[in-house]
Structures are given as structure tokens and as C-alpha cells.
Amino acid sequence: MFDFFKKKPADSAAPQPSPAAPAPATAPEVAPVEAAPIASTVTAPAAAPETNSAPADARSWAARLRDGLSKTRAKLNAAVGPTLGADVGDVMSDLFSRRKIDDELLDEIETTLLTADCGVDATQYLIDEMRKRWKRDKLETGEQLKGVLMELLEGLLTPLQQPLDIHTHKPTIIMLAGVNGSGKTTSIGKLAKRFQAEGKSVLLAAGDTFRAAAREQLQEWGRRNDVTVISQDGGDPAAVVFDAINAARARGIDIVLADTAGRLPTQLHLMEEIAKVRRVIQKADPTGPHEVLLVLDSNIGQNALAQLAAFDKAVGVTGLVVTKLDGTAKGGVLAAIARTNPKPIRFIGVGERIDDMQPFVAREFVEALFDAAPAK
Ligand SMILES: Nc1nc2c(ncn2[C@@H]2O[C@H](COP(=O)(O)OP(=O)(O)OP(=O)(O)O)[C@@H](O)[C@H]2O)c(=O)[nH]1
């Protein structure tokens, strides 16, 4: 079922997101709110919606998270792996367990943190703190230092562990933004199913009006999954979202998920367009949007910081969905975000299945990053 959203195979080796959708010749105008077209297509769910037939993954989330983070874990291990000749899954433990603490070990840890995309700022912070604790607490073994690093990382990431509130507003309006291919549409499907499972009714706004295929995919998905989709043939994304909010209100829907077309921060007219989408949401509901989720593909590593800054400036990002942690060795970027532009990480994704996206839990993440022991 979920493959329906799959437009292209995930390219785990790709260091950058796929190129931007072609920009329209002229930036589409956002219709004034009063004049918002009422010609949106309402794709009502089928009478007897199909249920999600994707086979459930028998492994626990902890096991999938750990497996998903194996590339980042391997990267963290890289500095010492070859010399120890151990399986990458075990090397992190070996790094710490077989060595005494010295400056050389700290230098190696510094390099591995940098190559796992923790960024200069977070790496410096972690190394400085580890050095302090080494001296202050008279640590001797690498194993003790590993405990300190885990503790520090958890301390860094815990403030970002803030669940998304879907209960305060009705409808709760959630807008998704991001570059092309970051995983917006897939995330919308995962979120819709998750919210439905929590007993909430969901309506989708097909705000990606550039790609007809994107609209059709959402419509078809909505038909099969008991989710109403509001769309328009081409036209104005802001008007689609405006209609969707009114439709949700009229139908007593709990949550509106507004898709938007992918765009690069360098496409200034498209960044202006998404800012207008946000403003029109506010006109439709002065309390909204209640969440502006930026979907970040973790493969882009440090580039995530620039994307976050640009989208934040344009639409005021209130939460992050970090996708594709399974295909990357750059999971350290979460630490970089925590240090330089902390935003709540609402969900992380480690695969394409519906249950491969879960709320971010700092402790789980850090344990998965270090612990190579097989989880059930
Ligand atoms: N491995 C992996 N693949 C993912 C994950 N999340 C999404 N994908 C895949 O990434 C690809 C792009 O996802 P989409 O949801 O189409 O991305 P998008 O941001 O909507 O793309 P545009 O509409 O082009 O802007 C699809 O093949 C998804 O299946 C993840 O956590 N792990």
C-alpha cells in the first residue's frame, strides 16, 4: 500500500536531495483570501476503504532504529575499526573498552564526530566536555568516556524531544515544507495513518500544485485510506490549503495536513510563495498554522542547517521530521541542529514503511547510535 507514494527508489548514496521541480515561468499569485476559489476537488474516501495491507515489520522500533543507524554508527567507528579489525557493529564498544583515555583517543573521537556530521560547534562542545570530565572525574577507561559521551549527547538532544500537539486545536493545521524528495509526501501518508490510529480524523490538502502526479497520488491514496483530499487542477497552493481548512471545519475534521511542493531555498520566488501559503493559512484560521514541519533528508548532513535557516526565515519552522536516517552515515547532524538552531524533532524516519517513522526519543536515538547489541 505505502509503495503508492513511492515516486523513486530511495537513493541512500545520494549526498543531495533530488533537483528542484522546474519553477513556473512566473511565480503563482496567491489569491486574496476572499477570492479563494471554491473549485477545489474534494476526493472523498471510498465507502469501504482498504486497510493498510503492508506487512508489519516484526522487529521492534528499537531494533529498526538501531539497524537504521548502522551507517552512522559505522562512521563513528571508522577511526578505530580498521586497527581493531572488528565487525563495525562492535567497534564503537571496542573504541572505548580497549583503550585508556589519552589525547590521541580524544583526537580520534573528534575526527569521527566531525565525519558523522555533528558539525564543528557540537563536536567542540562534546570534546571539551569529555576532556573536562576526564580530568575532573579522573576517568581512566574508554568505557567510562563512552558513558560520558552518551550522556552528553543525550543532554544535547533531549530538549529537541517534544511531541507534536494534535489535541489543542480543531482542526490542527499542519503544514509541511522541504526540498524536493526530502520525504514530505511519504511523511504525510505516515502521519495520516498514525493520527487515524490515534482516533483522529484527517484531511489532506494537495498543496503541491506543480506536479499533477503528486495531486493524483494523494487523491488515490486518500480514496484508499479513508482520508478526504482537497485539490485543484493546477492553480494556487494557498487557495487549496484555504479551501481545505474550511472543508475541515465544515466536516468537523481534527487534523489538516497541508502538502507543499518541494523547493530549494535558493528559489526565492518559491520561498516567497510558501510564505504566502502560511499567511493565507493564518487568514483562514488566525491561530494557525499550528505546526510548520520541515522535512529534512538526513543524507544532506550539514546542509540541513542551511535549509533549516532558510525555511525558518520564510515560514517559521516549528518542528522537524528527519527522514532517511537508515541510508546515511550523517546521523550526527541532529547534534549539529541541537547546538546551532534547536528545533523540536517531532519524528524520525528510518525506512519507507509506514511504521518506520516514530516520534523522536533522545535516549533511544543515542542508545541506537552506540549500542551494537542485537535488539529484539
Ligand atoms: N530509506 C528511506 N526512504 C525514505 C524515507 N522517507 C521517505 N523515503 C523515500 O524518499 C523518496 C522521496 O519521498 P517523497 O515523499 O516522494 O518526497 P517529497 O519530499 O514529497 O518529494 P517531492 O514531491 O518531489 O518534493 C521516496 O522514495 C520515499 O519512499 C526514509 O525514512 N527512509
Cα(244)–Cα(288) distance, integer angstroms:
13
Q: What is the mean pLDDT of residues 87-101?
A: 57
Residue 141: phi, psi to the nearest 5?
-100, 155
- Lowest-confidence segment of 71-80, 167-176, 295-304, 353-362 by average pLDDT: 71-80
What tens digit of pLDDT does each residue of 244-264 get? Answer: 999 999 999 999 999 998 899
What tens digit of pLDDT does each residue of 191-225 get? Answer: 999 999 999 999 999 988 887 788 888 888 888 78
Residue 85 is predicted with a pLDDT of 29
What tens digit of pLDDT does each residue of 146-196 get? Answer: 889 999 999 999 999 999 999 999 999 999 999 999 999 889 999 999 999
Cβ atoms 240, 17 nearer than 8 A: no
Q: Which three cell numbers stand for residue 299?
A: 543524507
Atom 14 (ligand 1) nearest CA: 183
Residue 39 is predicted with a pLDDT of 58
CA of 267 to the centre of ligand 1 (A): 21
Residue 62 is predicted with a pLDDT of 79
CA of 220 to the centre of ligand 1 (A): 17
What tens digit of pLDDT does each residue of 3-15 get? Answer: 434 443 333 333 3
CA of 324 to the centre of ligand 1 (A): 8
CA of 187 to the centre of ligand 1 (A): 8
How many C-beta atoms surround the C-beta of residue 282 within 10 A?
A: 14
CA of 350 to the centre of ligand 1 (A): 11
Pocket test for ligand 1, best of 18, 186, 297, 321 (most atoms within 8 A of CB): 186
Q: What is the ipTM of this complex?
A: 0.96
Residues having CB closer than 6 A to ligand 1 are 5-8, 10, 178, 180-186, 208, 214, 262, 295, 323-324, 326-327, 349-352, 356
- Looking at per-residue pLDDT, the higher value among 241 and 1 belongs to 241
Starting at the edge strand found earlier in the chain, the sheet holding 357-359 runs 41-43, 228-231, 202-205, 255-258, 172-177, 291-297, 319-323, 345-349, 357-359
Residue 318 is predicted with a pLDDT of 97
Residue 31 is predicted with a pLDDT of 33
Atom 1 (ligand 1) nearest CA: 351
CA of 162 to the centre of ligand 1 (A): 23
Pocket test for ligand 1, best of 2, 5, 7 (most atoms within 8 A of CB): 7
What tens digit of pLDDT does each residue of 319-362 get? Answer: 999 999 887 778 889 999 999 999 999 999 988 888 889 999 99
For residue 250, how far is the Cα from the chain centroid?
30
Burial class (CB in 10 A: 0-12, 13-18, 19+), 59: middle
Binding-site residue set for GTP: 178-185, 259-263, 323-326
Angle at CA of residue 336, ends 332 and 338, nearest 5°: 110
Residue 285 is predicted with a pLDDT of 95
Cα(196)–Cα(226) distance, integer angstroms:
9
